[in-house]
Amino acid sequence: AQFVFEAALHGLLKLDTPIPNAPLARWQRKAKESGGPVPSPATALSPMKPANRSHSSSKTPSKTPGKSGSKIQNTPTKAGGDRYIPNRSTMQMEMANFLLTKENDPAEESPTKKEQQKAWAVNLNGFDIEEAKILRLSGKPQNAPEGYQNNLKVLYSQNMTPGSSRKNGRYIPSMPERILDAPDIRNDYYLNLIDWSSRNFLAVALDNSVYLWNHTTGEIIQLLQMEHPDDYVSSVSWIKEGNYLAVGTSNAEVQLWDIQQQKRLRNMTSHSSRVGSLSWNSYILSSGARTGHIHHHDVRVAEHHVATLAGHTQEVCGLKWSPDGRYLASGGNDNLVNIWPCTQGDSGEFAPVQTFTQHQGAVKAVAWCPWQSNVLATGGGTSDRHIRIWNVCSGSCLSAVDAHSQVCSILWSTNYKEFISGHGFAQNQLVIWKYPTMAKVTELRGHTARVLNLTMSPDGATVASAAADETLRLWCCFEMDPIKKKEKEKANSAKSSIIHQGIR
Amino acid sequence: MAKQLGRDQQGITLRGSAEIVAEFFSYGINSILYQRGIYPPETFTRVQKYGLTLLVTTDPELKSYLNNVVEQMREWLYKCIVQRLVVVISSIENSEVLERWQFDIECDKTAKEESAPREKSQKAIQDEIRSVIRQITATVTFLPLLETACAFDLLIYTDKDLAVPEKWEESGPQFIANSEEVRLRSFTTTIHKVNSTVAYKKDSFP
């Protein structure tokens, strides 16, 4: 028996046998850590966790509710290495310092610790999680029928639809007639960066400059550049005659430029945030801003700010006067469409004659029908994706169609009873619809990123689309048949001659 | 006994506040079910509420299921014993939790003793609720697509000593393993305050 004792003594005194019950060597500890799974239960305890991005999720100390877990943070391990290479960015200096300097033994939970944790839990959750009971209503409701695929993917994107069996009445080229470069164009859904004048100039706002492209000659002029590098142009709109261009900027200015002389005529300030939308009604220029306010400017007088329309609580991204100048339609980021009269009401204040709330997304696409008065088309953003046609006098929605994709712009054709809409994810296409049947005539594909704006040439034959892929594509989709064109011109001239005869 | 809240009155009573919050949950849950595609969109119809056009379900079973919950919530809100309502969206095939909508409720318990209604206009509360619902609709722009068919569950966090009513059973919290979280707006009736957050499963690819 004494030999056992002696052997034990020897064992203790010898330094080269492995020591039982010793803490593991650092490299052994690390190997064990990288092998074993990190046992943290789902840390998605919402009230406490700040909405931070992914890289912080494995490193923030996970405070498990009410659980008396150890507070020591697992340091990120390097795979299998036995030399510890410090990584400063992933180290938590404060944590390390705290752990080194605190006095209590962290392994054992002292009663005060438990109290503290409980107090924290109550503070952060608003109640003691331990004390809360979680109840679930039993008897699950009927799930959606068997055949139902979760159609979110279909809801928010659209796959290529097979070509319609009915032949198109006319030939619409599927390729654009021309592609122009639009470098640095701002990929912001809420801005209106292109417009085509009646004198055939296409104005394009590229970040802080505005360029004019002459469709007839093809030449490009840089009209203006913002002084401050951080400012940008947020909207452009031509006056009906095509000699003045209104420019809305990010620093809340509305500028008026003379094209012939390439000079700025006026700089109208009245807004307090960026001016994302503009619309002309003879000499009245209406501007919509990020605050939701719409201002009317009389550009002929010094005191230009003649009226304020407050009907939106978020950015006004769609703004259009009707062709007869009686109504102004405005669409905002608050999902509302307001129809404003051209004159003030009895109280002297402007109030909308109609407000449409059916859209579930921002309404940027707003367009009046040129051949039917009081008919308005609107399109909703990503959350909505519907195109709606309204009669603004009665306030009824004449039709609604699901476009399956964010609608950025709608334009009615003056040559055919159709309208065209521009879309985003997933196909970035332009769709031509027949009115009033709402049947798809064709889809124009080509853009590789979402379409932002549409505008039409003065003859109504070409549509220009600006997209986030930094290109402008010109589509000859509403080209009039030359025979029909001659007939139309004849009809127009015939009318005027009859009037002439009548006056004799 | 708290009085019934008249629609044109300015004051908010405890019962009125419970009613407002319960109604919000009813429309909020319907919006979530529509926007996340849990049920076919054709089964939803539009109604006007809070000055918005909202979508509510027409399916009778689902309607009665939701009504049960809302009734119960109203009662518990009145007694100030409910702390949280959670809508859990999980995949049907593998029961994995994909999304978790959490509505925290803070109840001002002193309102139980008071008999005078509190000052807050209906319109102000409606505006706040409208912002929250609009935010729920707008979340579709960043929430990951739910590719598979999903089912939803409603969890309610109550005080521990509450007697479990029939039709209800106890449950776990059903957290999401690796989640990203976004805080939404909150609204308050001065008696109840509701904070909303949505947690979703982080995409497996970077």
Six-digit token pair at A2?
């004494």
- Determine the residue type at A54: S
Lowest mean pLDDT among A57-71, A451-465, B58-72: A57-71
User: Looking at residue B82, what is its pLDDT?
Assistant: 87
The model's pLDDT over A218-229, given as tens digits with 9 standing for 90+, comes to: 999 999 999 998
Cβ atoms B41, B121 nearer than 8 A: no
Q: What is the spatial order of strands in the sheet that A132-137 belongs to?
A: B168-170, A132-137, B150-159, B82-91, B97-107, B192-201, B179-188
The pLDDT confidence band at residue A17, using thresholds 50, 70 and 90, is low
Q: Which residue has the higher pLDDT, B177 or A194?
A: A194
The full set of domain ranges for chain B reads 11-201
Task: Please name the helix (run of DSSP H) or strand (run of DSSP E) that holds residue A485, with its range, or none.
Answer: helix A482-503
The model's pLDDT over B1-54, given as tens digits with 9 standing for 90+, comes to: 444 444 445 678 888 888 999 999 999 999 999 888 888 888 899 999 888 889
pLDDT at A302 over 60: yes
User: How far is C-alpha A320 from the chain's CA centre?
Assistant: 20
C-alpha–C-alpha distance, residues A194 and A142, integer Å: 50
Domain count, chain A: 1
Q: Which residue has the higher pLDDT, A133 or A150?
A: A133
Nearest to A44 among B59, B172, B199 (CB): B199
pLDDT at A483 over 90: no
User: Looking at residue A187, what is its pLDDT?
Assistant: 95
C-alpha–C-alpha distance, residues B113 and A81, integer Å: 65
Residue A347 lies in a domain: no
Cβ atoms A403, A379 nearer than 8 A: yes
The pLDDT confidence band at residue A41, using thresholds 50, 70 and 90, is very low
Residue A428 lies in a domain: no
pLDDT at A231 over 90: yes
Residue at token pair 């405005």: A330
| A148 contacts in chain B (CB < 8 Å) | 39-40, 149
Contact (CB<8Å) B149/A144: yes
Task: Give percent above pLDDT 90 in chain A.
Answer: 58
C-alpha triplet B50, B60, B42: angle, nearest 5°: 70
User: Looking at residue A164, what is its pLDDT?
Assistant: 47
Mutate which of B26, B29, B42, B53 to disrupt the A interface (most A C-beta within 10 Å)? B53
When pLDDT is averaged across residues A10-21 and rounded to a whole number, the result is 64
Minimal CA separation from A449 to chain B, in Å: 16
Whole-complex ipTM? 0.72
Residue A340 lies in a domain: no
Q: Which residue has the higher pLDDT, B13 or A54?
A: B13
Q: Identify any residues that bridge with A327 across adjacent strands, giving them in sequence order.
A: A341
Task: Please name the helix (run of DSSP H) or strand (run of DSSP E) that holds residue A353, with its range, or none.
Answer: none
Cβ atoms A442, A432 nearer than 8 A: yes
> Closest Cα partner for B91 from B39, B136, B147, B173?
B147
Q: Is B35 on the interface with A (CB under 8 A)?
A: yes
pLDDT at B160 over 60: yes
| Mean pLDDT value across chain B | 84
User: Looking at residue A152, what is its pLDDT?
Assistant: 54
When pLDDT is averaged across residues A35-64 and rounded to a whole number, the result is 40
User: Looking at residue B174, what is its pLDDT?
Assistant: 84
CATH code of A205's domain:
2.130.10.10
| Range of the structural domain that residue A223 is part of | 191-310
B74-89 as b/e: b if 16+ CB within 10 A:
bebbbebbbbbbbbbb
User: Looking at residue B206, what is its pLDDT?
Assistant: 46
**Residues near A317 by beta carbon (within 8 Å), at least 6 away in sequence:** A189, A190, A191, A192, A276, A277, A288, A331, A332, A333, A362, A363, A364
Lowest mean pLDDT among A156-170, A281-295, A310-324: A156-170
User: Looking at residue A135, what is its pLDDT?
Assistant: 79
Residue A122 lies in a domain: no
**B45-54 CB contacts, 8 Å cutoff, 24+ apart:** B46/A358, B48/A357, B50/B126, B50/B129, B50/B130, B50/B133, B51/A357, B51/B126, B51/B130, B52/A335, B52/A357, B52/B130, B52/B133, B52/B134, B53/A357, B53/A358, B53/A359, B53/A360, B54/B27, B54/B30, B54/B133
When pLDDT is averaged across residues A149-165 and rounded to a whole number, the result is 50
When pLDDT is averaged across residues B135-155 and rounded to a whole number, the result is 84
When pLDDT is averaged across residues A218-242 and rounded to a whole number, the result is 94
Contact (CB<8Å) B168/A138: yes
CB-count burial class (<10 Å; 0-12, 13-18, 19+) for A224:
buried
User: Looking at residue B79, what is its pLDDT?
Assistant: 86
The pLDDT confidence band at residue A323, using thresholds 50, 70 and 90, is very high
Minimum Cα–Cα distance from A65: chain B residue: B173
User: Looking at residue A144, what is its pLDDT?
Assistant: 58
Q: Which DSSP state fits A13?
A: H
Contact (CB<8Å) B150/A150: yes
C-alpha–C-alpha distance, residues A266 and B24, integer Å: 49
Task: Give percent above pLDDT 70 in chain A.
Answer: 70
CB-count burial class (<10 Å; 0-12, 13-18, 19+) for A47:
middle
The model's pLDDT over A436-459, given as tens digits with 9 standing for 90+, comes to: 999 999 999 999 999 999 999 999
Return the CATH number of B11-201, one of 3.40.190.10, 3.30.900.10, 3.30.70.260, 3.40.50.720: 3.30.900.10
C-alpha–C-alpha distance, residues A323 and A281, integer Å: 8
The model's pLDDT over A172-186, given as tens digits with 9 standing for 90+, comes to: 999 999 999 999 999
When pLDDT is averaged across residues B156-183 and rounded to a whole number, the result is 82
Contact (CB<8Å) B137/A383: yes
User: Looking at residue A117, what is its pLDDT?
Assistant: 66
| Mean pLDDT value across chain A | 80
| B147 contacts in chain A (CB < 8 Å) | 150, 152-153
